[in-house]
Structure 1
Amino acid sequence: MKKLLLPSKLIALFIILLSMNACAQESTETPTVTGQVTPSIVLSDDIIEKFQSNTRLAIQHVAQSPVDALYQVTTDRGIFYLSKDGQFFINAVIFNLDKGMLNETDVAMNSVRLAQVAKIRNSGIVYKASNEKYIVDVFTDTTCGYCRKLHREMQDYLDAGISIRYLAYPREGLAGNVAQQMQSIWCATDQQAAMDQAKGGDNVSSASCDNEVAAHYNAGRAIGVTGTPNMVLSDGSLIGGYQPAAALLTVLKQRLGS
């Protein structure tokens, strides 16, 4: 029996049609992605100009993708792919069939997430477990229902040895009331008390100062956060949505070890 060989272009098209990159979002903002560690490829000025003018994405790093015919392009809105002649822009997720459907795109995003969080974690609001085994960075909004549910259960996370570090992600953007409230929280003398008030539905005293709320928001957008809560683990992996403490602890043990 003759084997059916599929052309590489057909395989690439198959990947494109089946997959979508969850990190791609329409945006006019340009947060920065730094800290890439994969070997860099230099594109010609013509290809860079064509890519950025057509996609409105700022290129931060270019590397060889797992598919020979494609470059992996890290941008201010996540990872995309580009044909080596600069003609085709691909918004896709690459799965490795030889590695049990390993999501190569998500693996590549881990270093992007870690680099983004590293820039802002010192300005996070930390609820620290006395027997800390893990610390999880949580992009949060003070008005979302599941964010408030997570906060009501904070003691469960702390008792499980999971410290929570809040990073600001006002879902309605930086010009809305939530962003103003979160800026007041980050400028409060007692940030935890102000966060507790806001998550409980109470008003927070208005305050202003130099704060990192905008930096948090832009970092979230750069790594594909579109809703809250979103959790970034210490290996760079992302958990979208609420996880009760027991379920999160199980995931942490599986991914990071006990």
Structure 2
Amino acid sequence: MKKFSYLAVMAACLSTGLAAQAVLPEVNKAFSEVGLTVKAVADSTVPGMLQVQTDKGLFFMSDNKQYLFEGNIYDLKNKKLVNEDILKDIRKAGVKDFDGSVIEFKAADEKYVIHVFTDTSCGYCRKLHNEMADLNKAGITVRYLAFPRGGIQSATYDELQSIWCAKDAKQALTDAKNGKAVKQASCQNNVAQQYELGQSFGINGTPALILPDGRLIPGYQPAAALVATLSQNAS
């Protein structure tokens, strides 16, 4: 997997100022103590805070390095979610780096491309997949990325690896989502890296949909609602 564009965009979105650069060792130490790995640090648009991209998503930290904030911050003046404003470009670049290894269900008359982090044991993932014909008919191409909710030691991680290594990965994925057994297969794959990417976006459940503009929709959306969301965004 090529990481250049993802890291380059992350660096641009979290452009490290002198203040952030000076405290980087302290930030790394503080985050490591709570089990998080720092990927980038920047001076935040929120006064008195640093913004820190980690392997488990975006966090904010007080300038005195005493307080760690997890959750959404809303900019009342500009009427926007600060977290989303930071993460949209990072997500777009991140999924693009995996476009050579997704399992794609392509629309004949493609209007939109969405990326979906999926797990074979997830009921709502199956529900979304059952609407694939409607999604494709509406011009939505779906590119699947693996996200074994139980982690890389889980049975679904092994199953997802077999699916990504299958001769016909699309059919294997469809079979798994229909409750059919998947033939065990092995190959060089980046299922673990896809899972780690999802975690770095703050994803902790499936399905998780990344829209063309980088927005994240956590959870299932009916095909009609998803079409309406994409159409509204395009207009």
Q: TM-score, normalised by structure 1?
A: 0.82
Tell me the equivalent position of 1:94: 73
Q: CA separation in 2, counterparts of 1:151 and 1:69?
A: 44
CA separation of 1:132 and 1:48: change in aligned 2, threshold 3 A: same
Whole-Å separation in 2 of the counterparts to 1:95 and 1:49: 26
One-letter amino acid matched to 2:128: L
Partner of 2:227: 249
Residue 180 (structure 1) shift = 1.0
Identity of aligned residues (%): 42
Match of 1:55 in 2: 34
- Note if 1:40 corresponds to 2:16: yes
From the superposition, tell whether residues 103 and 49 of structure 1 become closer, same or farther in structure 2 (CA, over 3 Å): closer
Matched, 1:159 2:137: yes
* Alpha-carbon displacement from aligned partner over 1:208-242 (angstroms, at most 9, x marks no partner): 00011111111111111111111001211100111
- Counterpart position of 2:53: 74
Point out where structure 1 has 5 or more consecutive residues left out of the alignment: 1-32
Match of 1:128 among 78, 89, 106: 106
Q: Output the CA distance in 2 between the equivalents of 1:237 and 1:193.
A: 28
Equivalent pair of 1:160/1:249 in contact (CA under 8 Å): yes
The two structures have a TM-score, normalised by structure 2, of 0.89
Give the number of aligned pairs. 224
Question: In the TM superposition, what is the alpha-carbon distance from 1:86 to its structure 2 partner?
Answer: 2.3
Which residue is 1:181 aligned to? 159
Counterpart residue number, 1:106: 84
Within 2, Cα distance between the matches of 1:223 and 1:253? 24
Distance of 2:120 and 2:51 partners within structure 1: 35
Which amino acid letter does the alignment assign opposite residue 16 of structure 2? Answer: S
Q: Does 1:141 align with 2:119?
A: yes
| Amino acid in the other structure paired with 1:243 | Q
What is the letter of the counterpart of residue 174 of structure 2? D
**In structure 1, what residue type is equivalent to 2:26?**
I
CA distance in 1, matches of 2:113, 2:206: 18
